[in-house]
Structure 1
Amino acid sequence: MAADPWRNRARRVVESRLRPNGDVRPHHVVCGQDALAFYVVNELLAAGARVTVIVGLRPRADGPDIRAVRGIRVVRAARVDEATLRAAGLAGAQGLALMEQNDVGNIHAALCAQEVEPHVRLVMRMFNPGLGAGVKRLFADCQVLSDASMAAPAFVAAALGEVTPTHFRHGGRTLHVARRADVRPEHVVCGLADTRDRNHPRVLPAQQDQADLVLAEATGQPAGTVVAARRLIRARRRRRPAFAVLRALRLFVSRKIGIATMVVFGIVAVSGVLLARATEHLNLWQALYLTLLTAVTGAEVDLGERPGAQVMQVVLTLAGLALVPLITAVVVEGIVNARLAINAGRLRTPRTDHVVVLGLGNVGTRVMWQLHDLGVEVVAIDKDPDARGAEVARRLGVPLIIGDGAQEETLREASVATCQALVVVSTDDVTNLQAALNGRAITGDLRVVLRLFDGDFAERIQKAFNMTISRSVSYLAAPAFAAALMRRDVIATIPVSRHVLLVAEVTVAAGSALDGERLAALTDNPGVRVIAFARAGQARLRWGPPAGERLAARDRVTVVARRAGLSWLLKQTSAEPPPDGRVEIPAPRDPTPPA
């Protein structure tokens, strides 16, 4: 204990030396240069932090160039080790974000960081949830997040034409996103968006009753969004049991063998009916029983029979010669087709009412997994047989087609013409766009969920071709990563079309711009909606507080806000008010994100 003051003093000395020109802003180090790292860096800069970014020696060909961001320091290195972290000024930094798409590499970088700065806040991006849970226990101050897990529900909901299954618990209540028509008026907590114009949704409209997408209370309701989706799928199957049986038979055997088998059984059935009519002492069942055994085991020669019966015996014997091989062929082909579909990367029989997922990276694997858990039939496409999700597809029994998903032949092989949605989530914009356009060429009313990195390009494509919502994985996940790095309490992220709403709890600091102001100062901002309020020291939240309530230090406010609105609110509730001491109410701008 006696050494702690000296250690803290030495840490403050090192930190002061690393801050240029007496800069007292918190310092964060980000490792990565993809789209997610790009947006996390912008979130940190918007919050007033100093940022150092560690990038590779070569720039990435896809996504935005993080090196072009103004106000950051860039460190180029072949690998992230102790020397690189020291050069980036990690000693004395408040946080380190490890954003590479390499679980093992991120763990190695975290171990190196502990040698440089044991007290740094670690935020790690990991795909494997089991590995992430184990790694989190190795470090004193570590948060493990998965951008794929955050974004996958939005893609699944768009593919099924449902509301994004966002639900969370806060203040003793379970809240979820729903259509206003699906919930009772007294359960509505906040209007989120007016989505009647799919290409131009109005987020947080001034008139709350105009919002058809709402945040509602689900406490006491027996089923959440995911359970409701599963029940919907089961009900659909119950309404069409005959169709489900026929589809299963189609998946089991090929068309030619099925037709041949039906012809042979038809001959046996017709022969049984004729035998029943020709023989007075046999009823229909006895005649069918006799013909089936005769076809399987062969007939005994009886020269005393009438010519018609002898002809029937010959036909049945010939049909029997084909029946046993056909039954064997059906069983063998069913097994071979299943293995070929899973292991050899080919769809041997057509599918109907399924979802095609193109690209089995982090996001595509999560989307495939969640659709499978919901009971939706999935067909996956990837050009790499060793893609991250290839083994998952084989383990789940999902047919995996190895090929170029941008080609029309590959899409036809995946039965895109009869699918309910095409989810295109590869990391290549050209492949994604070409696959979407070829899918629309196959069937004009195809629902397409498209991922594009360039925001302006994605918006124009959506308008020009009426594509289903283009989702932004990086834009959806970046606020949660930045909030974890800065130890801020972002409770949930809600994707609405190409926008993101954040649910956050903010504490009013003593001496901040909002200390002593009324809640109306928050509600006047079009990018912020107050949904709950709690006095300092009180655990119980007051939902829907009046606008005239006056704020005080250490009061907690729960809001639904746009990104710019939350950034404004965090500045207004911080301990350092604006120079003139006035509360500013800017019109928040929320740029359309790339995917």
Structure 2
Amino acid sequence: MSSPLSAPNGHSSRIGHFVINGADGLAYRLADHLTSRYSADVVVLMTRDQHRSSRDFSELPRIRLVVVDRVDEKALIEADVAQASGLALTNQDDVANIHIALQARDLAPRLRLVIRMYNTRLGHAIESLFGECKVLSDAEIAAPALVASTLDEVAANPVEVARRTLLVARREDVPEKDIVCGLAFTNLGADPTMLPADPAVANLVLAEARSARAEELINTVRVAGAPAKSKWWRFRASRAFVRALFSRKLGIAFLTVLGILLTAGVALAFGNREIGGWDGFYLTLVNAFGGPQERPDFTRVEQGLQLIIGISGLAFVPLVTALIVEGMVNARLAVERGRLFQPQTDHIVLVGLGGVGTRILRLLHDRGLRIVAIDHNESARGVPLARELAIPLIIGDASRETTLRQAGVDRCRALMTVASNDVINLEVALQGRTLKPMLRVLVRIFDGDLASRVRRTFNLRLTRSVSYVSAPAFAEALMDREVVGTIAVERRVLLIAELIVGAGSRLDGSTVEAVDEAGAARVIALTELGEPRPLWNPPPTRTVRARDKLTVVCTRDGLSQLIRRTRAADVVAPGSVA
């Protein structure tokens, strides 16, 4: 049973459209990218359960929403997959995506498939088996950029172009002769200037990896030396150990009863000159564990103290028993959950162990950095990996102050909160800043407007969106365009793409200078038809001819414009009306 919720222009089917199966942030960004930048018609296919918690796709133009009980062949037929130009499977379930891809291939053998998979090793193995298929991982695309931002570094993002390895670096980190293109001018507290008119002002560049320093930037695996332990580390370790074993309420009860016993015993010993220190200690133990003994020679005050000691002793014995039992049980659970660990310093606190968090966990561990991981769900994807790598793991609510204190946020190097919920991420970030006002925090936020306001109001500069970084790669793969790399610059994205100049297109017969546009696109290489090697950094006066291949660095809008300008005169784009 399906429900087409909207159908623009009254059409129930469309030829040359794209189909997206999914309902999360990536599906929304991908639909927005296809409709707003390429004017393509899009059918979004999802289940009723997904629709209840999905984003509002109806606010996007050129969208037809199809809601079904389950995604099967009947649902794919309802979405007109047989007439579609491509199908994107963006659910976070590798097996389900493969199953739907097989069903779609039976309905449309030549359909272009783009599959989101966390297990990219399996994904690359099935690409050749499917044919006309591209497997991508949003976590794999975004994680390096998130780690680099957190560590105040630049993600190298090495890309192979015409048998050359290009990387992203700060200008001062690479020789001037190896720089291929100026990418952006980044200024602390301001939005970056992308592809500035004067490439020399760009402090973020694309360079060829020929120097030893460039190789170091690519191979960023570093083993961090162990910091010197502070003089308080033994006390902190003991406190962490006790907190992991005993509950707070039981500990308070035990200390209260013990305090009453000690106070009453001291008062009994020193209130009577005939009772010395040893006799006072002896009488306290006898009355506590054996019950009050009749002493006619005691005054009423001393008899009252004796009764208090006896009653406290009745409560003390079961409390000690409860502490022993709770300590043994909690010790076993704490060892299994990784909660028994020495207090960390100069470490990274990672909140959220979903697909993105798991990739980040692996990257940080490979670099030899100390990590404390937090997730509220013990069945999260990254929990087994954290335990396998012996990384301290806390299963709990990261928005609570006690959880963040246990993770050592007040002593950490940085906090990364990358859960899939914007509200939770923001709450954790603000709580972390409360514990450590100058804390470096990276916050994963989907909503761009919210991210902008958070940066201004709360001074949380490092706000990133995984779907914003990865959606362009999915869109270009879906349209079968040759995007060879993506470069994340804060919350914006640059693309490295290869375009063929169509005969009779607007660029046919123009010059490289006409292709370049400040803030939008820059040509870094030109390959003539039949030439095995490209001409790098072609001069501005170089003529662009039909069937030349242009390698460009561009923004998403810049790529959209170049695609229209390189299109042959008699070609109609998928999703457009002839």
TM range (shorter): 0.7 to 0.9
Q: Is the 8 A contact 1:199 1:463 kept in 2?
A: no
In 2, Cα distance between equivalents of 1:145 and 1:91 = 23
2:410 matched to 1:417? yes
2:478 matched to 1:485? yes
Find 1:73's aligned residue among 64, 67, 70.
64
2:168 matched to 1:177? yes
Q: Specify the alignment match of 1:88 in structure 2.
A: 79
Shift of 1:556: 0.8
Q: Is the 8 A contact 2:181 2:206 kept in 1?
A: yes
TM-score computed with the length of structure 2 as normaliser = 0.77
Q: Specify the alignment match of 1:544 in structure 2.
A: 537
2:221 maps to amino acid: R
Distance 1:256 1:122, change over 3 A: closer
Find 1:243's aligned residue among 218, 228, 231.
228
Q: Specify the alignment match of 1:187 in structure 2.
A: 178
2:98 maps to amino acid: I
Residue pairs, 1:265-284, within 5 angstroms? none
In 2, Cα distance between equivalents of 1:396 and 1:186 = 42
Q: Equivalent residue of 2:374, what SS?
A: strand
Find 1:167's aligned residue among 132, 142, 158.
158
Q: Equivalent residue of 2:205, what SS?
A: strand
Show structure 1 runs of 5+ residues with no match. 1-18, 258-335, 580-595
1:42 maps to amino acid: D
Please list the CA deviations of residues 405-442 of structure 1 after superposition, one character each: whole Å capped at 9, or x if unmatched.
11111111100011111001111111111110010010
1:55 maps to amino acid: M
Q: Is the 8 A contact 2:374 2:393 kept in 1?
A: yes
In 1, Cα distance between equivalents of 2:131 and 2:178 = 40
Shift of 1:255: 8.3
Q: Specify the alignment match of 2:422 in structure 1.
A: 429
Q: Equivalent residue of 1:73, what SS?
A: strand
In 2, Cα distance between equivalents of 1:454 and 1:61 = 19
Q: Is the 8 A contact 1:175 1:219 kept in 2?
A: no
Q: Specify the alignment match of 2:467 in structure 1.
A: 474
Shift of 1:520: 1.5
2:431 matched to 1:441? no
Distance 1:524 1:158, change over 3 A: closer
Residue pairs, 1:382-531, within 5 angstroms? 382-531=375-524
1:473 maps to amino acid: V
1:167 maps to amino acid: P
Shift of 1:67: 3.2
2:546 matched to 1:561? no
In 1, Cα distance between equivalents of 2:221 and 2:539 = 39
1:450 maps to amino acid: V
Find 2:31's aligned residue among 23, 38, 41.
41
Please list the CA deviations of residues 46-102 of structure 1 after superposition, one character each: whole Å capped at 9, or x if unmatched.
224332111222565767422331112221112211001111111132211111111
Q: Specify the alignment match of 1:289 in structure 2.
A: none
Q: Is the 8 A contact 2:197 2:518 kept in 1?
A: no
Shift of 1:517: 1.2
Shift of 1:552: 1.0
Distance 1:400 1:89, change over 3 A: same
Q: Give percent identity, aligned residues only.
A: 45
Shift of 1:445: 0.8
Shift of 1:548: 1.1
Q: Specify the alignment match of 2:287 in structure 1.
A: none
Q: Specify the alignment match of 1:370 in structure 2.
A: 363
Q: Which runs of 4+ in 1 moved over 4 A?
A: 19-25, 58-63, 225-228, 244-257, 336-342
Shift of 1:501: 0.5
Distance 1:35 1:549, change over 3 A: same
Q: Equivalent residue of 1:435, what SS?
A: helix
TM-score computed with the length of structure 1 as normaliser = 0.75
Q: Is the 8 A contact 2:179 2:205 kept in 1?
A: yes
Q: Equivalent residue of 2:356, what SS?
A: helix
Q: Is the 8 A contact 2:47 2:71 kept in 1?
A: no
Shift of 1:355: 0.5
In 1, Cα distance between equivalents of 2:237 and 2:406 = 17
Q: Specify the alignment match of 2:201 in structure 1.
A: 210
Q: Please provide the CA RMSD for this pair.
A: 3.0
Shift of 1:38: 1.4
Q: Specify the alignment match of 2:110 in structure 1.
A: 119
Q: Is the 8 A contact 1:508 1:573 kept in 2?
A: yes
Q: Is the 8 A contact 2:178 2:210 kept in 1?
A: no
Q: Is the 8 A contact 2:501 2:566 kept in 1?
A: yes
In 2, Cα distance between equivalents of 1:22 and 1:386 = 41
2:393 maps to amino acid: L
Shift of 1:133: 3.2
Q: Is the 8 A contact 1:121 1:142 kept in 2?
A: yes
Please list the CA deviations of residues 481-503 of structure 1 after superposition, one character each: whole Å capped at 9, or x if unmatched.
11111111101110101110111
Distance 1:227 1:491, change over 3 A: closer
Q: Equivalent residue of 1:370, what SS?
A: helix
Shift of 1:196: 2.3
Show structure 2 runs of 5+ residues with no match. 1-8, 243-328, 573-578
Q: Specify the alignment match of 1:56 in structure 2.
A: 47
Q: Specify the alignment match of 1:26 in structure 2.
A: 16
Distance 1:342 1:501, change over 3 A: farther
Q: Is the 8 A contact 1:337 1:348 kept in 2?
A: no
Q: Equivalent residue of 2:148, what SS?
A: helix
What is the total number of aligned residue pairs between the two structures?
478
Distance 1:353 1:466, change over 3 A: same
1:201 maps to amino acid: P
Shift of 1:191: 0.9
Q: Equivalent residue of 1:453, what SS?
A: coil
Shift of 1:204: 1.3
Please list the CA deviations of residues 277-304 of structure 1 after superposition, one character each: whole Å capped at 9, or x if unmatched.
xxxxxxxxxxxxxxxxxxxxxxxxxxxx
In 2, Cα distance between equivalents of 1:563 and 1:28 = 19
Q: Is the 8 A contact 1:342 1:394 kept in 2?
A: no
Q: Specify the alignment match of 2:124 in structure 1.
A: 133
In 2, Cα distance between equivalents of 1:109 and 1:215 = 39
Q: Is the 8 A contact 1:490 1:504 kept in 2?
A: yes
Question: Which deviates further from its counterpart, 570-579 or 92-101?
Answer: 570-579
Shift of 1:21: 8.4
Shift of 1:139: 1.4
Q: Specify the alignment match of 2:279 in structure 1.
A: none
Q: Equivalent residue of 2:550, what SS?
A: strand
In 1, Cα distance between equivalents of 2:233 and 2:110 = 57
Q: Specify the alignment match of 1:291 in structure 2.
A: none
Q: Is the 8 A contact 1:513 1:577 kept in 2?
A: no
Q: Is the 8 A contact 2:40 2:62 kept in 1?
A: no
